[in-house]
Structure 1
Amino acid sequence: MFLFAQMQPQGQAAQSIPAILPVAMIAGLIIRALHKRLDRDDT
């Protein structure tokens, strides 16, 4: 996250980081759900 913020101007980083955080959280939840389903199917 720090490297990403340094690569862009602070104005763009301030706008993009809050937009990326919820997407990353949602993606994490989806990945967890998929892993749980795969584990259940394997067993």
Structure 2
Amino acid sequence: MKTLFALSLLLIITAQLTACNTMQGLGKDVQRGGEAIERTAK
């Protein structure tokens, strides 16, 4: 059961990283998310 959970989690993380295409893209996505939170907080 733990193995299935770990494998599923790994698959989800991999899919998210490939959706960003590159680690640079991931950084930009995270930055945009943070900026959106800042705008909402103001």
- TM band (smaller chain): 0.3 to 0.5
TM-score, length-scaled by structure 1: 0.46
Give TM-score scaled by structure 2 length: 0.46
* Greater relative contact order, per chain length (Cα 8 Å cut-off, separation 6+): 1
